[in-house]
Amino acid sequence: MNFLLVAIGGGLGAVLRYVLGVWIKNNTRERSIPTAMLIVNLLGAFGLGIFFNYAYGEIPMAAYDKKPYLFFGIGFFGAFTTFSTFSVEAVTLLQKKKWIPLFTYILLSVGGSIIIFAFAFFVL
Protein backbone atom coordinates (compact mmCIF):
# COMPACT_ATOMS: atom_id res chain seq x y z
CA MET A 1 0.00 0.00 0.00
CA ASN A 2 2.81 2.45 0.85
CA PHE A 3 4.43 1.93 -2.56
CA LEU A 4 1.11 2.65 -4.23
CA LEU A 5 0.67 5.92 -2.31
CA VAL A 6 4.15 7.09 -3.32
CA ALA A 7 3.59 5.97 -6.93
CA ILE A 8 0.23 7.71 -7.33
CA GLY A 9 1.43 10.90 -5.63
CA GLY A 10 4.65 10.83 -7.67
CA GLY A 11 2.78 10.27 -10.92
CA LEU A 12 0.50 13.23 -10.25
CA GLY A 13 3.41 15.45 -9.20
CA ALA A 14 5.51 14.55 -12.26
CA VAL A 15 2.63 15.16 -14.67
CA LEU A 16 1.79 18.49 -13.04
CA ARG A 17 5.48 19.52 -13.18
CA TYR A 18 5.58 18.72 -16.89
CA VAL A 19 2.31 20.52 -17.68
CA LEU A 20 3.23 23.60 -15.64
CA GLY A 21 6.77 23.68 -17.06
CA VAL A 22 5.47 23.55 -20.64
CA TRP A 23 2.84 26.19 -19.89
CA ILE A 24 5.43 28.55 -18.36
CA LYS A 25 7.83 28.07 -21.29
CA ASN A 26 5.04 28.71 -23.80
CA ASN A 27 3.66 31.77 -22.02
CA THR A 28 6.76 33.65 -20.92
CA ARG A 29 9.63 35.13 -22.83
CA GLU A 30 13.03 33.47 -22.72
CA ARG A 31 15.29 34.72 -19.94
CA SER A 32 18.93 34.26 -19.06
CA ILE A 33 18.02 31.76 -16.33
CA PRO A 34 15.72 28.70 -16.69
CA THR A 35 12.57 30.20 -15.19
CA ALA A 36 10.18 27.29 -15.74
CA MET A 37 11.93 24.86 -13.39
CA LEU A 38 12.83 27.69 -11.01
CA ILE A 39 9.14 28.56 -10.63
CA VAL A 40 8.13 24.90 -10.33
CA ASN A 41 10.76 24.23 -7.65
CA LEU A 42 9.78 27.33 -5.68
CA LEU A 43 6.10 26.37 -5.88
CA GLY A 44 6.99 22.88 -4.69
CA ALA A 45 8.94 24.19 -1.71
CA PHE A 46 6.03 26.50 -0.87
CA GLY A 47 3.49 23.68 -1.14
CA LEU A 48 5.60 21.32 0.95
CA GLY A 49 5.94 23.97 3.66
CA ILE A 50 2.17 24.43 3.77
CA PHE A 51 1.64 20.67 3.82
CA PHE A 52 4.02 20.11 6.76
CA ASN A 53 2.55 23.02 8.68
CA TYR A 54 -1.07 21.97 8.34
CA ALA A 55 -0.66 18.18 8.32
CA TYR A 56 1.84 17.90 11.18
CA GLY A 57 2.61 21.30 12.65
CA GLU A 58 6.26 20.30 12.48
CA ILE A 59 8.79 18.89 10.06
CA PRO A 60 8.47 15.13 10.62
CA MET A 61 11.87 13.50 10.60
CA ALA A 62 10.50 9.95 10.85
CA ALA A 63 7.25 10.04 8.89
CA TYR A 64 7.85 7.14 6.54
CA ASP A 65 4.94 5.28 8.08
CA LYS A 66 2.48 8.17 7.73
CA LYS A 67 0.28 7.87 4.65
CA PRO A 68 -0.17 11.61 3.98
CA TYR A 69 3.60 12.06 4.06
CA LEU A 70 4.12 9.17 1.67
CA PHE A 71 1.58 10.52 -0.80
CA PHE A 72 2.31 14.25 -0.61
CA GLY A 73 5.77 14.66 0.92
CA ILE A 74 7.61 11.90 -0.91
CA GLY A 75 5.33 11.17 -3.85
CA PHE A 76 3.72 14.38 -5.06
CA PHE A 77 6.21 17.04 -4.00
CA GLY A 78 9.18 14.71 -4.52
CA ALA A 79 8.21 14.26 -8.16
CA PHE A 80 6.89 17.80 -8.66
CA THR A 81 10.20 19.40 -7.73
CA THR A 82 13.34 18.39 -9.55
CA PHE A 83 16.87 18.75 -8.29
CA SER A 84 18.20 16.77 -11.23
CA THR A 85 16.82 19.21 -13.82
CA PHE A 86 18.12 22.10 -11.72
CA SER A 87 21.58 20.46 -11.84
CA VAL A 88 21.46 19.99 -15.62
CA GLU A 89 20.40 23.59 -16.17
CA ALA A 90 23.07 24.92 -13.79
CA VAL A 91 25.82 22.89 -15.50
CA THR A 92 24.56 24.10 -18.89
CA LEU A 93 25.00 27.71 -17.73
CA LEU A 94 28.44 26.74 -16.37
CA GLN A 95 29.49 25.22 -19.70
CA LYS A 96 28.36 28.38 -21.51
CA LYS A 97 30.33 30.45 -18.97
CA LYS A 98 27.26 32.52 -18.14
CA TRP A 99 28.48 33.35 -14.66
CA ILE A 100 25.91 35.89 -13.52
CA PRO A 101 22.90 33.81 -14.69
CA LEU A 102 24.51 30.70 -13.15
CA PHE A 103 24.96 32.22 -9.70
CA THR A 104 21.59 33.96 -9.89
CA TYR A 105 19.91 30.66 -10.76
CA ILE A 106 21.69 28.79 -7.95
CA LEU A 107 20.93 31.51 -5.39
CA LEU A 108 17.27 31.80 -6.38
CA SER A 109 16.78 28.04 -6.58
CA VAL A 110 18.49 26.99 -3.36
CA GLY A 111 18.10 30.09 -1.23
CA GLY A 112 14.65 30.85 -2.60
CA SER A 113 13.41 27.33 -1.94
CA ILE A 114 14.60 27.44 1.67
CA ILE A 115 13.12 30.89 2.27
CA ILE A 116 9.78 30.12 0.63
CA PHE A 117 9.51 26.77 2.45
CA ALA A 118 10.21 28.48 5.78
CA PHE A 119 7.68 31.23 5.00
CA ALA A 120 4.98 28.70 4.11
CA PHE A 121 5.78 26.55 7.14
CA PHE A 122 6.17 29.22 9.82
CA VAL A 123 3.99 32.11 8.62
CA LEU A 124 1.00 30.66 6.80
Instruction: Determine which of 14-23, 26-35, 55-64 has the lowest per-residue pLDDT on average.
Output: 55-64
Residue type, 48: L
pLDDT over 90 at 65, yes or no: no
Per-residue pLDDT tens over the stretch 3-26: 999 999 999 999 999 999 999 999
Q: CA-CA distance, 79 to 12, in Å (whole number)?
A: 8
Instruction: Determine which of 46-55, 58-67, 72-81 has the lowest per-residue pLDDT on average.
Output: 58-67
The verdict on whether residue 78 carries a ligand-binding annotation is yes
The pTM (predicted TM-score) of the whole model is: 0.93
Alpha helices in 28-98 (DSSP H): 35-55, 67-68, 77-80, 83-95
Q: What is the pLDDT of residue 27?
A: 94
Three-state SS for 49? helix
